[in-house]
Structure 1
Amino acid sequence: MKYINKLLLLLVLGAFAACTYEFPEPQIDEPTSGSADLTKIVSVGNSLTAGFMDGALYNRAQQNSFAVILAEQARAVGGGDFNVPNINSVNGFFQMGPQGPLGRLVLTVNPQTGATGPAPIGAGDLPSDFTGNKAALNNFGVPGITLLTALIPQTGGPASPANPAYNRLYERFASNPGTSTIIGDAAAALANGGTFFTFWLGNNDVLGYATGGASNPAILTSNSDFQQRLAAALGAMLAANPNAKGAVANIPSLAVLPYFTLVPWNALPLSQAQADQANQGYAAYNGGLAMARAGNLITAEEEQRRRIQFQAGQNGFVMEDEFLTDLSALGLPSIRQSKSTDRATLPLSAALGQPVGGNPALIRGISFPVEDQFVLTPEEQLEIRDKITAFNGFINAAVQANSDRLVLVDVNNLLDRVFQGQVSSGGVGLTASIIPPNGGFSLDGVHPNARAHAFVANLFIDQINQKWGANIPRANPNEYIGNDLPR
């Protein structure tokens, strides 16, 4: 019976083969923009949109931002040129050195210790004026801007001690420095034939506060100000072209950034002799805590939390903590040793264990407490987490209020999944680290590298495709470079 069935099958197939009718080739979905129009994309944002990486804005980084990658993929569905305000610098500017500007960060090996870490590459360039056609720009990403500084003309200059909003990286390509605004320039570009926009602002309304160890509350945007400024900025983009659609990204959790995870809480190595010497210096302090406990000024739990005791091996460092009970009347400072629940910031890696002010008796983290700007306590982490949740709520509400024209791009969720090891391409993972080849963050520990930007671009593409029935091809993240190997 099986033989008969096989024979019948062969006869049927032969009959079909003898016919002149040809079956159509399987149809592969053609690229399409669906009900979106990506002919001219305008992107407005901060360092993430600009392509800031490795502590600098430089050529390779600028040309590998998510905005540039998205625009490149959009060419398949009719997208046009995407012009950026070229920085024209191979190394960019990280900081001033003794001999002049120093460029971007690279991984280097310390010849004395053998340790590998980020350091400036060498000579860099101060940002120069943009000499191209300002009226033809598509990318209005400016590193360091908040929602407020995206909206005010002072951001474009002039530079003065009385103008903290001044931003050289905007002045260099502002349509009218000192008069124009970033949002105004982006909205004008959208009005001038723009068909689609990306909007990613708000990160710096909390990031600067966090990277400074939550030590300067004045720079943390209030919820009411954030909501009002978001409405003004996003509203200006929507009003610029009533037919243009847009993709709006939210704010990722800062807990996933290597800037807050690279320096361990117990990063202080001591020998037994060093530990014994340090403990002698804190004998009076620990005795004072016992007296405060006996006087019911602090609980036994807080006394234990504040006691300072070093040992041979890895130790928590001595740090300031404003959330401790004020015992200054007893001459006791608000200090303790770091715990596993604390988050040290990346700059502490260069300062910990070093003399303060050149005084060998004042060693940061041992005899000199680590200052507030270097550490996030659990209370500060909670404050920052709540602030991001609130800001993302405002962003989501604004998108939902204009759901016919806007789509939310949940970068917060993407980076959470990266942190959990759940993101990959072609079997190659993306990690929340700076370690090549899989590390997704550039060497400043805050900004994604080029490969991670490709994942972000794909998230934008996925949301646009889903929202408006488009079929924009996704980028291949493995074609984009991660961090360079150590030099």
Structure 2
Amino acid sequence: MKRIFSVLITLPLGWLVSCQYTFPEDPMLTPQPGQADFSKMITIGSSITAGVMDGALYNRSQQNSFAVILAEQMEAAGGGPFNLPDINAEVGSFILSPPGANLGRLILRVNGGRVVPEPIVPGNPITPFSGDKSGLNNFGVNGLSLAAALVPETGNSNQPEHPLFNPHYARFASNPGTSTLIGDAVAALADGGTFFVFWLGKNDVLPYAIAGGAVPELLTGDQEFSQRYQTALGAVLRANPATKGAVGNIPDLNTLPFFSTVPWNALPLSGSLASLANGAYTQYNQVLDGVAESGLIDETEKNLRKINFQAGQNGFVIEDKTLTDLREMGIPSIRLSKPEDKVALTTAQILGQVVEGNGAAIQGVTVPIGDQFVLLPSEQSLMEQKIATFNQIIQSMVATEPERLVLVDVNDLMSRVALGTVSAGTVPLSNSIVPPNGGFSTDGIHPNARANAFLANHFIESINEKWESTIPKVNPNAYIGNDLPR
């Protein structure tokens, strides 16, 4: 079977095998709950809260989510049992599987002396949770937006065609087709809940990002976000007036390795292939000269749109809807990718591939890579503005309940990881999927187990500071990053 990802990560394999984690020791205070009560914690969120890693939810990923790690650390300060909707899957189901495919989580494999992420085959189907639904503590669901958290259609397996239907919630919904995720979480809080973690909102932006900004409708409107967030968080707060909670904000998605693993110049060409490819654009480039002379585009845009390959690493041909629309003249809106573009990891599925057996039709060379595979600078800016607006809404709502809520600035943590300033002892956490220090799982979106430990500590720091608790922090170096290549 042709691999789903052909991204190549060049690493010295001997270095990979010899690298080991160190285990720094931190002084510990006597664990105390302070002004909070952790005896029954409820977590509400999306894929990271659920424990998705490597593009799937599977047993090991679920058990190493930040929510589970946080609950384990809270036990020393009076925390109680933390029950999960067990997935019972060793490899899970790859969330980006093409229709009809049976793929599991991604792993790193050695292929021709290089390292590539590939799915395990076969994967595991998503099966209903068979345990006690009324005793659950973790209400994390992959792909959950605020809208989906509030409507029963999300869990209605009788209407799988509904745009908000989510099999990951349907598998443990208290009453599929009638209940909502927020309603289930509220019921759990009302039944003796004492503390909660609320981290929703990421999936009101992320789908737009991973679709390369091609579908603006995937971005939630500001007013809709505010109303839905207030409705969801308000319901959680009303469930039990005695509860306190930690609220996470939205990280800068532009920093994800999903947008940096495939470089902008990922197209290698020999001198002869570059000359051959350039021949396909001779007439196109000449037409651009005439268009510029007519004044329809300026010299800067003309040069941007011209396609010229050379021997070595090249940018690849992409669609760019921000260019002057010249389609009525038969001129496509295309150009070569640039350093300012962010290339989606999924581009590796098609870059350099022959289209329908036609040797002259090559993705990224003579066939443009579609808009859904590249975040253009304008799309990156729009996403940053949207995240900033949503985070301001979140911050403002947390501020309305200063005695009961603390804001956990996940955006700040992820930004520091991207800058390379986060570490445990002398062992850094890098903004990559490369073991042993890469903080993201092999899908480039979700943190791996080690990074989830850092994330749990980040929540612990905010909670301890807010309520004078002394929940002990976990040693992130006791958790593995991505598996070494097989």
Same fold per superposition (TM over 0.5) = yes
Structure 1 residues 159 and 348, CA, compared in 2 at 3 Å: closer, same or farther? Answer: farther
Structure 1 residues 96 and 466, CA, compared in 2 at 3 Å: closer, same or farther? Answer: closer
User: Aligned-pair distance for 1:402?
Assistant: 1.1
User: Aligned-pair distance for 1:280?
Assistant: 1.1
- Residues 354-408 of structure 1, C-alpha deviations (whole Å, 9 max, x = no match): 1123322210110001100000110111011111111111111111111111000
**Structure 1 spans left out of the alignment, 5+ residues:** 1-26
C-alpha distance in 2 between matches for 1:263 and 1:284? 30
Contact 2:29 2:472 in 1 (8 A): no
Who is 1:60 aligned against?
A: 60
C-alpha distance in 1 between matches for 2:224 and 2:418? 30
Who is 1:15 aligned against?
A: none
C-alpha distance in 2 between matches for 1:467 and 1:411? 16
C-alpha distance in 2 between matches for 1:288 and 1:230? 51
Structure 1 residues 350-429: aligned runs within 5 Å: 350-429=349-428
What one-letter code is carried by the residue in structure 1 that aligns with 2:64?
N
Who is 2:70 aligned against?
A: 70
Q: Report the aligned-residue RMSD.
A: 1.5
User: Aligned-pair distance for 1:114?
Assistant: 3.2
C-alpha distance in 2 between matches for 1:297 and 1:178? 55
SS state at 2:43 partner: strand
Who is 1:104 aligned against?
A: 105
- Residues 16-64 of structure 1, C-alpha deviations (whole Å, 9 max, x = no match): xxxxxxxxxxx97421111011110000000010000001000000011
What one-letter code is carried by the residue in structure 1 that aligns with 2:276?
Q
C-alpha distance in 2 between matches for 1:99 and 1:413? 39
What one-letter code is carried by the residue in structure 2 that aligns with 1:359?
N
What one-letter code is carried by the residue in structure 1 that aligns with 2:175?
N
SS state at 1:347 partner: helix
User: Aligned-pair distance for 1:149?
Assistant: 0.2
Who is 1:327 aligned against?
A: 326
C-alpha distance in 2 between matches for 1:31 and 1:451? 23
What one-letter code is carried by the residue in structure 1 that aligns with 2:109?
T
C-alpha distance in 2 between matches for 1:479 and 1:261? 27
Contact 1:198 1:247 in 2 (8 A): yes
User: Aligned-pair distance for 1:158?
Assistant: 2.8
What one-letter code is carried by the residue in structure 2 that aligns with 1:480?
Y
C-alpha distance in 2 between matches for 1:385 and 1:395? 15
Instruction: State yes or no: 1:89 paired with 2:125.
Output: no
Who is 1:6 aligned against?
A: none
C-alpha distance in 1 between matches for 2:394 and 2:356? 44
SS state at 2:446 partner: coil
What one-letter code is carried by the residue in structure 2 that aligns with 1:67?
A
User: Aligned-pair distance for 1:288?
Assistant: 1.1
Contact 1:50 1:141 in 2 (8 A): yes
Instruction: State yes or no: 1:485 paired with 2:480.
Output: no
Greater radius of gyration (CA): 1
Length, aligned pairs only: 459
User: Aligned-pair distance for 1:102?
Assistant: 2.1
C-alpha distance in 2 between matches for 1:99 and 1:380? 31
Moved over 6 A (4+): 97-100
Contact 2:157 2:167 in 1 (8 A): no
What one-letter code is carried by the residue in structure 2 that aligns with 1:452?
A
- Residues 200-221 of structure 1, C-alpha deviations (whole Å, 9 max, x = no match): 1110110001100011112211
Structure 1 residues 123 and 162, CA, compared in 2 at 3 Å: closer, same or farther? Answer: closer
C-alpha distance in 1 between matches for 2:303 and 2:215? 28
Contact 1:159 1:166 in 2 (8 A): no
Task: Give TM-score scaled by structure 1 length.
Answer: 0.92
Contact 2:43 2:140 in 1 (8 A): yes
SS state at 1:106 partner: strand
SS state at 1:407 partner: strand
Contact 1:156 1:180 in 2 (8 A): yes
Who is 1:317 aligned against?
A: 316
Contact 2:28 2:472 in 1 (8 A): no
Instruction: State yes or no: 1:33 paired with 2:33.
Output: yes
Contact 1:288 1:330 in 2 (8 A): no
Contact 1:257 1:432 in 2 (8 A): yes
Who is 2:338 aligned against?
A: 339
What one-letter code is carried by the residue in structure 1 that aligns with 2:128?
D
C-alpha distance in 1 between matches for 2:168 and 2:291? 53
Structure 1 residues 153 and 329, CA, compared in 2 at 3 Å: closer, same or farther? Answer: same
Who is 1:223 aligned against?
A: 222
Who is 1:174 aligned against?
A: 173
User: Aligned-pair distance for 1:159?
Assistant: 4.4
Contact 1:171 1:177 in 2 (8 A): yes
Structure 1 residues 152-231: aligned runs within 5 Å: 152-160=151-159, 162-231=161-230
Who is 1:444 aligned against?
A: 443
C-alpha distance in 2 between matches for 1:115 and 1:358? 27
C-alpha distance in 1 between matches for 2:292 and 2:108? 48
Contact 1:433 1:445 in 2 (8 A): yes
Percent identical residues:
56
User: Aligned-pair distance for 1:340?
Assistant: 0.5
Who is 1:134 aligned against?
A: 133
Task: Give TM-score scaled by structure 2 length.
Answer: 0.92
Who is 1:16 aligned against?
A: none
SS state at 1:438 partner: coil
User: Aligned-pair distance for 1:193?
Assistant: 0.3
Instruction: State yes or no: 1:299 paired with 2:328.
Output: no
C-alpha distance in 1 between matches for 2:405 and 2:368? 48
**Structure 2 spans left out of the alignment, 5+ residues:** 1-26
Contact 2:153 2:159 in 1 (8 A): no
What one-letter code is carried by the residue in structure 2 that aligns with 1:198?
V
